[in-house]
Amino acid sequence: MNIYEILTAKKRGLPLSDEAIDFFVDGFVRGEIADYQASALLMAICINGMNDAETYALTRAMIASGDTVDLSPLGQSVCDKHSTGGVGDKVSLVLLPLVAACGLTVAKMSGRGLGHTGGTIDKLESIEGFDTALSRERFLSVARKTGFAITGQSEGLVPADKLLYALRDVTATVDSIPLIASSIMSKKIASGADVIVLDVKVGSGAFCKTEADAKQLADTMIGLGKRAGKKVAALLTDMNTPLGNTIGNALELKEAIATLKGEGPDDLKDLCLTLAQTILHLAGKGDRNRCRRDALRALQDGSALEILRKTVSEQGGNVAQIDNPDLLPQCRYKQEVFAARSGYIVETDAERYGMAALLLGAGRRKKSDSVDHGAGIVLHKKLGDAVHAGESLATLYASDPALFAEAETTLLQATVLGDRQPCPTPVVLQTVLDR
């Protein structure tokens, strides 16, 4: 077997055997297959696709390239959640303590933000002292004590994915359903959870621009999870407009805490309750109606917020910032963005909203960039809202006032005003279960 034969087969649209895929992944990780050869195969996959068996073989080979996490010492089913990336997506900060308060154990490895999408680890690092680089032993200890632990992704977890993604990013081969699905599910499966719910974003601020593409991705990931013995479900959720009213690390954490107090925006609350309902049902905690009631009760009685407090304490964070979110990082400067005319917000471009926050310092263009935890945007008007000329659409926050001009222009370009109020779009578009 050699890489030339593998390239020739996939160029012709032929399926690759498990052995061929193992040979490729192992050889690439070892440095025995050159970047240009790997790039050629990625492009052939992007053009000709992969069937279900090939996609699972690629996922399995990527998992085998590094470490896996054994969560069996926790003694029960462990749940996890993954989002395909969005703007204002602070769901994990609400959802994970919420399901832990309902009796599940959550042990999650999470990532940082890049480009217009935010990362849960960046948001949590807004908390003074919060440790996002737990050892395996401490990770399990926190999960055992509080029901919820979260840490950054281990360098040894699925190294093949890191190497392949670096190539995909510069060779225009990111947009391939088999490559996306294997990338996501190799990390989820290697992370050890038994119950996995996927939040697949759809719209201008998401990778999947159409519901059909999102459904195909969800079906593929659910199939991979099933073959690996996991319980998996997915929600297709709207990302044509930012989720909630805030974009930026400390601002989103503050909104998540408000939601755990029962005070958050309706779209965020509804999505978190629906995801919680889905996880609890998958984990055998009752029918969907009962699971939603239990999740709502955990929000209303403060038990979910208390789980977050305990986890922050166990991971070295300053709990006073949870009790009083005004103590979280804040920027020195702020600027209002005003509407030029009256009407309704009839269209928004969530990706541009995310880029506006990035311009303020809330995100990173490349992985080595740092973030300003206090920077970001608070939205006062959202899709469908009525607006009067001169009324504030949003407040921008930055540590340098020179950053406001370009961010304001970007946000205004992303906000289309019209004369007729658009029909509302639900945040949850579809629930996808095992095929």
The active-site residue, picked from 187, 188, 231, 309, is 187
Max intra-chain CA distance, the chain: 68
Alpha helices, DSSP H only, in 134-262?
A: 136-146, 159-170, 177-190, 211-227, 249-260
Find the Cα–Cα–Cα–Cα dihedral 203, 207, 210, 214, rounded to 10°. Answer: -120
The active-site residue, picked from 161, 194, 199, 238, is 161
Q: Give the integer Cα–Cα distance in Å for 231 and 282.
A: 7
Burial 343-365 (b: 16+ CB within 10 A, else e): bbbeebbbbbbbbbbbbbbbbbe
SS3 content of the chain, % helix, strand, coil (to 5): 45, 15, 35
270 in catalytic set? no
The active-site residue, picked from 60, 82, 230, 281, is 82
Counting Cα atoms < 13 Å in the Cβ hemisphere of 361 gives 22
Helices 303-314, 288-300: inter-axial angle, 10-degree rounding: 70
Listed in sequence order, the residues at least 6 apart from 266 whose beta carbon sits closer than 8 Å to its beta carbon are none
Listed in sequence order, the residues at least 6 apart from 333 whose beta carbon sits closer than 8 Å to its beta carbon are 397, 398, 399, 400, 401, 404
Q: Give the integer Cα–Cα distance in Å for 376 and 398.
A: 7
Q: How many residues are given for the chain?
A: 435
Listed in sequence order, the residues at least 6 apart from 148 whose beta carbon sits closer than 8 Å to its beta carbon are 96, 97, 100, 105, 106, 142, 307, 308, 311
Nearest in space to 26 (alpha carbons), one of 57, 62, 77, 51: 62
Contact 123, 252 (CB under 8 A): yes
Query: DSSP string covering 316-341, please?
Result: T--THHHH-GGGS---SEEEEEE-SS
- CA 145 to chain centroid, in Å, comes to 25
Listed in sequence order, the residues at least 6 apart from 367 whose beta carbon sits closer than 8 Å to its beta carbon are 112, 114
The active-site residue, picked from 168, 231, 310, 381, is 168
Residue 315 tokens read as 């991971």
187 in catalytic set? yes
17 in catalytic set? no
E strands, 246-315, are: 246-247
Contact 430, 215 (CB under 8 A): yes
60 in catalytic set? no
161 in catalytic set? yes
Contact 348, 383 (CB under 8 A): yes
The active-site residue, picked from 183, 186, 191, 204, is 183
Active site residues: 82, 161, 168, 183, 187
